[in-house]
Amino acid sequence: METMNDQPVAMPRIGDAAPEFKALTTQGDIHFPNDYKGSWVILFSHPADFTPVCTSEFITFASMEEQFGQANCKLVGLSIDGIYSHIAWLRTIKEKIEYRGMKNVEVNFPLIEDISMEVAKKYGMIQPGESTTKAVRAVFIIDPKGIVRAMIYYPLSLGRNFDELYRAVLALKTSDEFGIATPADWRPGDDVIMSPAGSCNAAKSRVEGKEEGLHCQDWFFCTKKIDKETILKKILKK
């Protein structure tokens, strides 16, 4: 549990409403998550501007912004640096930095100024074991209703895997749309997991192969094929 102004502040958990805040960003003022109702959001923090790992991450995220947009997912960044530092850093990224063939990259999603660390503390982004003045690499995936659906925390030294963040958004959307679960390493087009049978009769029917379209190895482990095109038609914008 973090503290703010000597008062205890509970970190958000999966299934909680995303903590509300108003903030200044590189794209103007925002009221979060109210301004993002109807969209999925990835809210993520980085330790500091003008640092190499963070720079590689912002180039990658900005290069994937359109891809996330097709999944109706918006990006919002945060660090405890000020707005002028943010602007100067993002300008440097566009004008000078190349990473893995990506260059002249413009960051168009908002980057929150959080000098007071108010937002970072609300979201448990300040981890005293790492630093008391820098936000760790936290990631929150928030759904269109403003509910926290996934959280991932990385230490200051570890750059994030952005393909995995995109995969997680697609998997969550697929779960919601089709009422299924997704197995390890799932990607659209792979078999999905059906919920375990809720009764002895249902379990027996599954094991005996009476439920069409299911492949059951045991009563609790049944998969189903949903083709990639069907999934993408549901979860991506045309």
- Residues with a catalytic annotation lie at 54
Residue 174, token pair as written in the block:
């697929």
Please give the Cα distance from 206 to 203 (Å, whole number): 5
Residue 27 φ/ψ, nearest 5 degrees? -115, 20
Residue 149 marked as a ligand binder = no
* Three-state DSSP state, 226: coil
Rg (C-alpha) for the chain, rounded Å, is 20
CA quadruple 201, 207, 210, 211: dihedral sign: positive
Please give the Cα distance from 78 to 18 (Å, whole number): 15
Q: Which residues are annotated as a binding site?
A: 137
Q: Which residues are annotated as a binding site for substrate?
A: 137
